[in-house]
Structure 1
């Protein structure tokens, strides 16, 4: 009975699919091995790949095959090759920016609004605050405090509050220890910063008191969050930052309810 069942399954597969299973090219296998070495840390950011002769001997491949493998990694932004240089390929571990621009383009093409992005951030950051309260170190909290003491005030004085505010939001998520959340935050970082820049620029031009009020509110809220993080109060940190994000979203969307991502990034 079982043999008949398996036979029927394979017959069905043969009937519905005439495409053979593709065998990976040698260059793809070499690229896979080099990629794994980068992921595992055997090749670190800034390291030079061994000379071609060494790699050809190690993998038992020809020079064209090896160069094709390197081109695969170059397309993935994992290595950087300077044409005409004798120094060869250099490992270049990418950050969130490698997916931020394609993700932004997809949002533009889908007609996503800034409101969509702010709602997504509101779903993400409070949970990051909860994680950071549970797993963060004094060094993490000190870094956030330094940003509130130095970076945000400096950006406010330079009339670039958006830069300091966006950096704090991003670093909060990066420090929470969840790589996936950090990647998502990095993808939305530029959109958020650009939009805040537009909103704060308008406030600073039209009403200095309103601009200063936004700055002081941000500082107080960030200090409150850090106090809760240091206390390890995960629930309170989550709730406080949830309220912060909700209030912030309401303020940032006044007059921009239908603004699309493409309008912000143009």
Structure 2
């Protein structure tokens, strides 16, 4: 009888262990991470606007009931995320930075460095968005816009960033412009140095001029094709 009880007990123990394996261990969240999360949320919610100073270290210590070290870790996290600027001195502190697309660029760079997406995937996204932007730019282009594009065309060397920013601006869509520019910056930062050779620069200049001309003529189809060729001439064969 006792033997049967022992067997049943062991079976129950084994079953209990099997059930426990279905759970995941609980990670203890650092207090500084929690505070970072609350402060960043307050910034994004607009409770602290650009240029405004966050509460002092002493005030945050009393508010969160934590050590000075914990508060400083949280503030350093905000600075690393480009949410605040740290100023020293009697009137210093943590000041909220303006919300810009630099954060998108920074996040994309980090994701690319971590291998979350490939250069091919980045290039493909650039081509899709770039072609759409070129069509809209050709449709919206005014006489004044043509003059500005002609000025760029007269330059000896055309900058990829300057040209794409100017053209993206013709969409009158700030989100589309910011997103495209962020992707261009990430791609440019990760292009091999040899892609900036004289031959490549001349080829890019030629394609850039063709794009400018297509937009100036308000030819949407030609603008789309020229944008694709220009981006490929700069970013292909990485």
Q: TM-score category by the smaller chain?
A: 0.5 to 0.7
1:221, distance to aligned residue in structure 2 (A): 2.7
Q: What corresponds to 2:183 in structure 1?
A: 187
How far, CA to CA, are the matches of 1:84 and 1:197 in structure 2? 46
Q: What corresponds to 2:165 in structure 1?
A: 167
Cα deviations by residue, 1:161-184 (Å, 9 ceiling, x for unpaired): 2343221244356x43657x8435
Alignment equivalent of 1:250, drawn from 226, 229, 233: 229
**How many residue pairs are counted as aligned between the two chains?**
213
Q: What corresponds to 1:101 in structure 2?
A: 109
How far, CA to CA, are the matches of 1:23 and 1:184 in structure 2? 38
SS at match of 2:38: helix
1:224, distance to aligned residue in structure 2 (A): 5.2
SS at match of 2:237: coil
Q: What corresponds to 1:137 in structure 2?
A: none
Contact 1:132 1:176 in 2 (8 A): no
Q: Which runs of 5+ in 1 are unaligned?
A: 1-9, 134-140, 205-209, 229-239, 261-266
Change beyond 3 A, Cα 1:45–1:105: same
1:87, distance to aligned residue in structure 2 (A): 0.3
TM-score (norm 2): 0.64
**1:1-266 pair list within 5 angstroms:** 14-17=20-23, 19=25, 21-82=26-87, 87-92=92-97, 93-94=99-100, 95=102, 96-102=104-110, 105=113, 110=118, 112=119, 117-127=122-132, 148-150=146-148, 152-162=149-159, 163-171=161-169, 175-176=172-173, 178=175, 182-183=178-179, 185-189=181-185, 191=187, 201-203=201-203, 211=206, 215=209, 217-223=210-216, 240=220, 243-250=222-229, 253=232, 259-260=237-238
Change beyond 3 A, Cα 1:12–1:246: farther
How far, CA to CA, are the matches of 1:119 and 1:97 in structure 2? 17
1:259, distance to aligned residue in structure 2 (A): 1.6
Contact 1:35 1:73 in 2 (8 A): yes
How far, CA to CA, are the matches of 1:249 and 1:169 in structure 2? 13
Contact 2:130 2:180 in 1 (8 A): no
Q: Which has the larger radius of gyration?
A: 2
How far, CA to CA, are the matches of 1:184 and 1:23 in structure 2? 38
Structure richer in helix, relative to its length: 1
Cα deviations by residue, 1:145-193 (Å, 9 ceiling, x for unpaired): 755432x3333333232343221244356x43657x8435512345369
Cα deviations by residue, 1:69-94 (Å, 9 ceiling, x for unpaired): 11222232222224667501222245
SS at match of 1:161: coil
Contact 1:31 1:69 in 2 (8 A): yes
Higher relative CO (CA 8 A, sep ≥ 6), structure 1 or 2? 1
